[in-house]
Structure 1
Amino acid sequence: MVDKIIQLQRKIAPELTQVIEARYNLLRYIQHAQPVGRRAVAIMLAMGERVVRAQVDWLKAAGLVEFSQLGMSVTAEGQAMLADLAEYIRLLHGLVGLENELSERLQLNQVIIIPGDSEADSTVRRELGRAAAGVLGQHLGDNMVVAVSGGSTMAKVAEAVNFSVPTTAVVPARGGLGEVVEYQANTIAAVLAGKLGGRYRLLHIPDGVSEETMEVILAGDANLGTVAEIIKKANILVYGIGDAVEMAQRRGLPAATIAEIERRGAVGEALGQYCALPGEIVYVTSSIGLRLDDLAGIGTVIAVAGGSAKAKAILAVAGTGGQDVLITDEAAAKAIRLLINTNLI
């Protein structure tokens, strides 16, 4: 019935759906940035201040936003409206049908698609984090072990958690990346544990060290072996998917190795493994922690990645099997469908 109403709106009053979507996007941005001023909103959304002023005045009159000296914030009524509008926008964009299509074609239990493009809109990346945090909350029970990978998207997941399960233990899925501390798996594990009110164990070993070096490190630190065993027993894994070459460069792999990874056709990376289409693992970095072939033994595996540029990466990693839930954005989902339909996998 709702689908039919949306179809009628598109035909007889297309401007109405445009207004609804514009106000939804504005309200969503205010929610993520609150308290925020109108000028900041205008800059971030590339809108004229006059247009923003008119829209937020309407939202205020409707009781959806409120003003203070610090800026605009979304009211409780506005929060409820956002939740209702989210499903409308998903139907408007045809995302429900696309979710079902991709879950079937990728052989996943569930696909969740967030409207928009996380490469172009940071708000969409935050929504990816919120969605992943929501799925985590649905599957998280008492006395569980949660493993998380590193990356900016995973940082958004930890940031979005707003519930507590104090009996949870959080561990990094693998050794740390050579990147900013905030995006390392150890940091994200600690932040997530703090949000959940649980405990965490860290893995103080760099990713990609040689096998010989790893043996020396393990021999000198019994605690690492203990943490490695906890990681292997994870009940839930939440991890990101990256572009193969970009991740190889971030890990500081030698230029010759990066060239070899490209030569082998790798397009996606997850958990230190580089994958080619349609799902072949072609290169593996040595480290302690989970690998893609460990996923079958984990209760719930949640992959999070967005942006059309990551479509091939998502397809390649998903093709290795073992995933349960994919949380992505509209841009990536439509690019994935195009790749599948044009037989590019």
Structure 2
Amino acid sequence: MESLLTAQLKLIPEMSDLLQKRYQVLQMIQLSKGIGRRVLGEQLGLSERDIRKELDALRNQGLIEISRDGAAISPEGTKILMELKEVVREWSGRLQLEQTLSKILHIKEVIIVPGNVDTNTNATMLLSQEAAKFLESILSNDKIVAVTGGSTIASISNFVQDTTKWKNLMFIAARGGVGKDVTLQANTIVSLFSNKTNGSYRTLYMPDSLSEEAYTTMKKEPFIQEMMDLYEKTSIIIHGIGDAEEMARRRNSSEEEIERLKENGSVSEAFGYYFNDQGEAVHRIRTIGIQLKQLKNIEHLLAVAGGAKKAKALLSYFKQAPEQTVLVTDEGAANEMMNIISQTN
């Protein structure tokens, strides 16, 4: 089917716009699991007239079902999405962009979803869905998975399939609490993942940032020693990459501390380390959690971050990221990274 569609697009190039539109409509319906016409149009930036036309076409083909709850994808529609995924990825130019970025960033793989999470909630869902699919592809029995916090990482659990096929899976908090929203903290997120996969979880109930005295004392506690042992046995880490100033404010850093970070050239943050635009660690907080030196021994590193605003932070972090990292991002971040790279070369 892939070669046939590619040939058709070359013969009738104007078909590509219609294909893209209907693919996006179908994809959004799958993500939403019941969505009204008006909301669908707002999400995709299409008029009500266009949405009505596309929904009628998809329903007539048996790809969606429409009820009082809205539009929902049919089994045939799900099948079509799967069959078209790789073709659309290549035809849209994302495949080539993924390959180019993975070479530039010196990492194992880059996966790019359509859109920009800064402006499109649809892109946020696609980002989470793709990360969930990749996670499911690398999970197996007896794995320990460390998870950081944040809204992006939390949303991934929504797209992990409920299953009991894995045995002895354990999800552990990769760091302590950051910010005031408990739903976005690692301790909460690990429970969400474990519920979906019939696994267990371990929490780390303490602040992400500790004083020197508290850090020294807590490292001696038996439950901390147990967590440190689990970190050494971890096979998979799911983590985000933050903007340095944004993360400092989430940690309630003082204005003086934020100013010092700026003076040191801090651009990105991950695992309690702040990096400049050359990928050098210019500051770190005292934290009980996954340490930077441990990353090189982790089998799978799944980094998830999107949005054009994150481009500088991503380029900063990936100057030193382990090569086994897989990045799931969006077109907004990917295109902005390429713009920055082209301007600096």
Q: TM-score, normalised by structure 2?
A: 0.93
Give distance in 1, aligned partners of 2:233 and 2:180. Answer: 27
SS of 2:344's partner is: coil
SS of 1:72's partner is: strand
Give distance in 1, aligned partners of 2:79 and 2:202. Answer: 37
Q: Percent of pairs identical after alignment?
A: 35
Tell whether 2:321 aligns with 1:332.
Answer: no
* Corresponding residue number in structure 2 for 1:264: 264
* Corresponding residue number in structure 2 for 1:289: 289
Describe how 1:121-270 pairs up with structure 2 within 5 A: 121-162=120-161, 163-164=163-164, 165-219=166-220, 221-270=221-270
User: Is the contact made by 2:177 and 2:206 (CA closer than 8 Å) also made in structure 1?
Assistant: yes
Listed as ranges, the gaps of 5+ residues in structure 2 are none
Instruction: Quote how far apart the aligned CAs of 1:312 are.
Output: 1.2
* Corresponding residue number in structure 2 for 1:276: 276
Instruction: Quote how far apart the aligned CAs of 1:63 are.
Output: 0.6
User: Is the contact made by 1:306 and 1:328 (CA closer than 8 Å) also made in structure 2?
Assistant: yes
Moved runs in structure 1, 4+ residues, more than 3 A?
Answer: 1-10, 12-15, 215-219
User: Is the contact made by 1:172 and 1:231 (CA closer than 8 Å) also made in structure 2?
Assistant: no
* Corresponding residue number in structure 2 for 1:94: 93
* Corresponding residue number in structure 2 for 1:309: 309
Give distance in 2, aligned partners of 1:82 and 1:2. Answer: 12
Structure 2: which amino acid aligns with 1:17? S
Tell whether 2:127 aligns with 1:108.
Answer: no
314-323 vs 301-310, greater mean Cα deviation: 314-323
Listed as ranges, the gaps of 5+ residues in structure 1 are none
User: Is the contact made by 2:43 and 2:122 (CA closer than 8 Å) also made in structure 1?
Assistant: no
Give distance in 2, aligned partners of 1:81 and 1:20. Answer: 12
* Corresponding residue number in structure 2 for 1:54: 53
SS of 1:342's partner is: helix
SS of 1:177's partner is: coil
Give distance in 2, aligned partners of 1:6 and 1:131. Answer: 23
SS of 1:266's partner is: coil
Give distance in 2, aligned partners of 1:215 and 1:267. Answer: 28
User: Is the contact made by 1:3 and 1:91 (CA closer than 8 Å) also made in structure 2?
Assistant: no
Structure 1: which amino acid aligns with 2:45? A
SS of 2:14's partner is: helix
User: Is the contact made by 2:116 and 2:332 (CA closer than 8 Å) also made in structure 1?
Assistant: yes
SS of 1:234's partner is: coil
Give distance in 2, aligned partners of 1:3 and 1:280. Answer: 45
Structure 2: which amino acid aligns with 1:98? L
Instruction: Quote how far apart the aligned CAs of 1:4 are.
Output: 10
The number of residues matched between the two structures is 342
Instruction: Quote how far apart the aligned CAs of 1:214 are.
Output: 2.8
CA gap of 1:111–1:194, structure 2 versus 1, over 3 A, is same
Deviations 1:194-219 (A, max 9, x none): 11100000000111121212334455
Structure 1: which amino acid aligns with 2:62? G
* Corresponding residue number in structure 1 for 2:14: 15
